[in-house]
Amino acid sequence: MPYRKLALGGACVAILVLVFSMMLANSMYHTAVMNQDPQWLLTQSVWSGHVRDDGGSLFRTHCASCHGNDSRGNAAIGAANLTDSDYLYGNGDVLETEQIVLHGIRSGNLRGWNLASMPAYGTEKPYSLYAVEPLSPGEIDKLASYLQDLGRLGGASGQEPDQSMSATLIEGSKLYASKGCWDCHGADARGDTAIGAPNLRDHIWLYGDGSRQSIAHSLTFGRHGQMPAFEKTLSPVQARTVAIYAWSLSHKAGAREK
Amino acid sequence: MPGRSHIKQARVKNNRFGSMNWTRVSPRRALILSGIGALLGLVVAGFGLFTSKGTRTFVVPPEDVAIVNNVPILTSDYDALLMATYNVSPAGASPEQRKTIIDAMINEELYVQRGIELGMQTDVIEVRQALVSAVEAQQTADIIAAPFNDEELKAFYQNHSNMYATEGKIQGRDYVAPDVAQAQLFLAQLNSTGNESAASKAAAMRQTGLFSDGPEFYFAAKLHMEPALFSVAQTLKPGMASRPVELSDGVHVLVMVMNDPPHLMPFDTVKDKVLRDMREKKSQIVRASSGAFLRRRADIIVTRGLE
pLDDT tens figures, B254-271: 999 999 999 999 999 999
Strand partners, B71: B68
CA B277-B279-B280 angle, 5° bins: 60
Higher-scoring residue by pLDDT: B96, A42: B96
CB contact (8 A) between residue A239 and residue B76 = yes
> What's the confidence (pLDDT) of residue B49?
77
d(CA B112, CA B104): 12
Task: Give how far A72 is from chain B: nearest CA, Å.
Answer: 16
- The answer, yes or no, to whether residue B56 has pLDDT greater than 70, is no
Q: Which residues of A touch B149 (CB under 8 A)?
A: 65
What's the distance, CA A170 to chain centroid? 32
Nearest to B275 among A77, A109, A217 (CB): A77
* DSSP code string of B201-242: HHTT-EE--TTTTS-EEHHHHHHHS-HHHHHHHTTPPTT-BP
State whether residue A26 sits within 8 Å of chain B by CB. no
Residues 6+ apart with CB under 8 A from B263: B165, B166
Q: Report how far residue B259's alpha carbon sits from residue B211's, in angstroms, rounded to the nearest whole number.
A: 12
The pLDDT value recorded for residue A1 is 58
Categorize the per-residue pLDDT at A163 as very low, low, confident or very high, splitting at 50, 70 and 90: low
Lowest mean pLDDT among A245-254, B196-205, B292-301: A245-254
User: Which of B138, B147, B214 is facing A136, going by the closest CB pair?
Assistant: B214
A30-49 residues touching B, CB cutoff 8 A: 30-31, 33-37, 40
**In this complex, is the C-beta atom of A212 within 8 Å of any C-beta atom belonging to chain B?**
no
d(CA A239, CA A94): 11
pLDDT reading at A153 higher than 70: no
Q: What is the pLDDT of residue A157?
A: 44
pLDDT at B106: 96
- Closest Cα to residue B265, out of B160, B136, B115? B160
B78: pLDDT strictly greater than 90: yes
Which of B138, B148, B214 lies closest to A65 in CB terms?
B148
Instruction: Output the average pLDDT for chain B.
Output: 88
The pLDDT confidence band at residue A27, using thresholds 50, 70 and 90, is confident
Q: What is the largest CA-CA distance in chain B?
A: 138
Alpha helix (H) ranges present in chain B? 2-10, 27-50, 75-86, 95-117, 120-123, 125-145, 150-159, 180-193, 196-202, 218-224, 227-233, 267-297
Which stretch of DSSP H or E encloses residue B67? strand B64-68
**What pLDDT shows up at residue B235?**
93
pLDDT at A24 over 90: no
Confidence of residue B242 (pLDDT cuts 50, 70, 90): very high
pLDDT exceeds cutoff 90 at B148: no
Mean pLDDT of A112-132: 90
Mean pLDDT of A114-126: 90
Q: A-chain residues within 8 Å CB-CB of B219?
A: 123-124, 134
Nearest 10 degrees: Cα torsion B149, B155, B156, B162 = 140
Among B64, B141, B216, beta carbon nearest to A232: B141
pLDDT of residue A164: 67
Q: Which distant-in-sequence residues (6+ apart) come within 8 Å of A70 by Cβ?
A: A83
**For position A257, what pLDDT does the model report?**
41
Percent pLDDT > 90 in chain A is 48
Confidence of residue A155 (pLDDT cuts 50, 70, 90): very low
Q: Please report, rounded to a whole number, the percentage of residues in chain A having pLDDT higher than 70.
A: 91
In sequence order, the 6+-apart residues with CB closer than 8 A to the CB of B70 are B55, B56, B57
Could you give the CA distance from residue A96 to residue A205 in angstroms, rounded to a whole number?
Answer: 21
